Amino acid sequence: MGIPVRQAVRVGAYLMKQKLARREKFALTLELEPLFACNLACAGCGKIQHPASVLKQRMPVEQALAAVEECGAPVVSIAGGEPLMHPEIDVLVKELVKRKKFVYLCTNALLMPRKIDAFEPSPYFSFAVHIDGMEERHDASVCKQGVFAQAVDNVRDAQRRGFRVTTNSTFFTTDTPQSVIEVLDYLNNDLKVDQMMLSPAYAYDKAPDQEHFLGVTETRELFKKVFAEGRRKRWRFNHSPLFLDFLEGKIDFGCTAWAIPSYSLYGWQRPCYLMSDGYAGSYRELLEDTDWEAYGRGNDPRCANCMAHCGYEPTSVLATLGSLRESVRAVRG
């Protein structure tokens, strides 16, 4: 299966509403960052490079909810930093579920034992656990030993309690087709997570490790080999088939970063959560005052090697729901 049927139906209805209103740009998923602090210091992430005064800040629940209502996105991905460090993260999730938003709480899973009793299972809520490889590879990625084992134990505990658990895996030049196949097989068949997301690492300016980001050609070669021999059909991805086609170079898309806006302690980030060309005071200002044509591969050199889902997954979703054939394919997987 691709995107969950309940979510696909709701997003499809939302897209039809936008089409009837003749809106050209709108939010599909909100990338919400209520804090930048984290309990890990991963080599490929630069969030904790913010000043100490900023790392101490926590976004009020009312402010976060206002951003969600403002952009209207049916899906909310709560990231950071580590969201489980936010003292009212359970309150925020409950309020979003009450509004029937599809919520993905991105976490390294280490704090789940302390926090899990504050959450309730729901078809609208998922723990989205970062797993970037098997044990040695994952622990090296997060720069701390023992994290993989703890994350796996905590995922199993959440599953026993009835929670929906998905994973998010980022791959670098240090990964091989075999190492990617191994972790996807493990997550799918052994850990039995509900669905998986994957992304080639983007050259994030603040990241400590700048040497191992994938280029477009490398990304396509990697996933073409990973998906060969029919393997792609046996894995449960939380992606549209067209986005997977995009990763292995079967199709190309333009960037639609406006469809996955990022809202953080600084405001609405231009143009996406991976680049910081200033901030807007409202989602409408972000849409209207950002020169979107200046971004994307072929326009901005910083975008030259980007194939991240924040820019290209929404393009594939729009293409999927604009085609009966692709819509049927997405449901069948």
Give the tens place of pLDDT for each residue, 213-227: 688 899 999 999 999
Classified by CATH at the fold level, domain 5-332 comes out as: TIM Barrel (3.20.20)
Residue 13: Cβ-neighbour burial (10 angstroms; 0-12, 13-18, 19+): exposed
pLDDT tens string 280-315: 999 999 999 999 999 998 899 988 888 888 889 999
List strands edge to edge, sheet with 125-130.
195-200, 164-171, 125-130, 102-107, 75-78, 29-32, 262-264, 267-272, 275-280
Reported as type and span, the H/E element at residue 88 is: none
pLDDT computed for residue 279 by the predictor: 96
Quickly state the pLDDT bin for 253 (edges 50, 70, 90).
very high
Q: What is the pTM of this model?
A: 0.93
Residue 156 has a pLDDT of 98
The pLDDT of residue 317:
87
**Alpha-helical segments (H) within 205-308:** 216-226, 241-247, 283-289
Is the model's pLDDT at 249 over the cut of 90?
Answer: yes
Cα dihedral 310/17/265/122 (nearest 10): -80
Mean pLDDT taken over the chain: 90
